[in-house]
Amino acid sequence: MVQEAVELKQEFHMFWGCMTMRNVAVIYALPEKYATSIRLSGLFAERAKKIIQPWWPSFFPMKIVMIARQAVVSLLTITANEVIYASAPLAASAIPAIIVKKLKGNILIADWDDAFMDFTKQMPSILSPHYWELKCLKIADKVVVVSRKLEEIAVAMKGRKNVLYLPNGVDTIKFADRGNAKKPGFVVGIIGYVGKMGKKFAYQEMAEMAGRIKDADFLVVGYGKGVRDFKKYVKARGLSPRFRFVDYVKHEEVPKYIAMMDICLVPFGDFFTSQTRSSVKMKEFMSMGRAIVATRIGENITDLDNGRCGMLAADSQDFITKIKALQRSPLLRRELGRRARERAEKIYDFSILRKKLYDFLNTIN
C-alpha cells in the first residue's frame, strides 16, 4: 500500500508538470546545490525551461562574467511567448530577467525568497547589489514570496492581487524516516550555513550548549569558512570527541544524516533577514519527523504552528532548556515529530505548493 501511494504521488507530480509548465522559463540565481535553487527544482517540472548557473565564483570580477553569461543565455533562449520566472531575485537572475523583459516584452514573475533590507523603508543605491533586486521586483508583473513578512512588504509594493505567499517546501517521499539509521547515542544536529545567532556565532552557542548538555553528541553537516572556525572553537574547549563534522553532501544524501539526529536545531539571529526567511532545512526536518528546536522568529513560528509541531526558543538559554526537556522525554520527541511530519505532508509538500503556484500562474494573461 505504501509503495502504491508513493507511485500515485509521483504520477500526480508528473501530471501537473506536463500540464502547465511548457511556457515558463526559469532563471536561476545560483547553482543547484543552493537552497534557493533547491526550491525551484521542487516547484518546477523537468519540462520547464531552466537557465542555471554551472557554478558561482567568490572572485568579484568573475561574478560579473557569470552574470553576463546568464544574461546572454537568457536572451538567446527565452522566447517572447514564455513567462520569465526569476529566482531570488539576485543580480544573476534579476539582470537577465530585466533585459529580456525590456527587449521582448515577456511577463515576469519574481520569486522573492530572501531579503536583506525592507524596501518600504530603505532604498539601495545603484552601487548596491540589492539595487537590481528592487529593480526586478518593481518591473515584475507578479511576485511570489516565501514568508508572511515578505508578503506584507510585497503587497505594499505591488498590491494584494499580484502577490502569492508560497513558502519553501520539501519532497516528503524522499525525506521520510525509514527507521534504519545507525547512530552512537543521543544526537543533536544542525545542517547548512552556520551564521550568527544573536550576538554570537551559532558555533559558539552550540559549543556552550554542548558544555551544559551531557550525554549528547553533536552532528554538524555543512561547509564554508564558518565550519573551519567551528572546528577550532570546539577543539580549543576540549569538546572534539562530542562533535562530528560532515562537510558538504549532495542534497539527495541529506536524509540519511537527518535520520541520525534525535533533535534538529534551526538557530536564527534576530535580524531582518531572519524575519523574512523560510528555512528549507526546517521543512526537511519536519518531513523526517524530527523533534525541532528553532528560534522564535519570523517564519519559524508559522512552520512549527506556534510551537505545536516543535519547540520555539527565545534565546540560547531557552535552547538549552528545551533540548534538555526533549532529551528527557522520548515520548515528547515522538509526538512533536509525528505532528511535524503530518504538517509537512499537508502544507509543505512540493506537490501541494506546485499546484498553488500553477493555479496562480494560470491566472496571468
Amino acid (one-letter) located at 56:
W
pLDDT of residue 200: 53
Q: Residue 341's pLDDT band (boundaries 50, 70, 90)?
A: very high
Q: In degrees, to the nearest 5, what angle opens at C-alpha 96 toward C-alphas 166 and 193?
A: 50
pLDDT tens digits along 221-234? 987 667 788 888 88
Phi, psi of 63 (to 5 degrees): -60, -40
Dihedrals φ, ψ of 24, to 5°?
A: -120, 130
Task: Yes or no: say if 89 and 133 are a contact pair by the CB < 8 Å rule.
Answer: yes
- Look at residue 36 and give its three-state secondary structure: helix
Asked which of 78-87, 150-159, 189-198, 241-250 is least confident by mean pLDDT, the reply is 189-198
Distance of alpha carbon 45 from alpha carbon 255, whole angstroms: 22
User: For the chain, what is the radius of gyration of the CA atoms?
Assistant: 21
Task: Tell me the C-alpha distance between 75 and 70, whole Å.
Answer: 9
Locus of grid cell 533590507: 117
The structure's pTM equals 0.90
Q: Is the CATH number 3.40.50.1220 carried by domain 187-346?
A: no
For residue range 235-263, what is the model confidence (pLDDT) as tens digits? 999 999 999 999 888 999 999 999 999 99
CATH architecture for the domain at 2-169+349-361: 3-Layer(aba) Sandwich (3.40)
Phi, psi of 311, deg, nearest 5: -100, 140
The distance from CA 126 to its chain's CA centroid, rounded to whole angstroms, is 28
pLDDT at residue 6 is higher than 50: no
State pLDDT tens for residues 305-325: 999 999 999 988 999 999 999
Q: Residue 274 CA to chain centroid, in angstroms? A: 12
How many alpha carbons fall within 13 Å on the CB side of residue 235? 7
Of the pLDDT bands very low, low, confident and very high (cuts 50, 70, 90), residue 194 is: low
**Which part of the chain is CATH 3.40.50.2000?**
2-169+349-361, 187-346
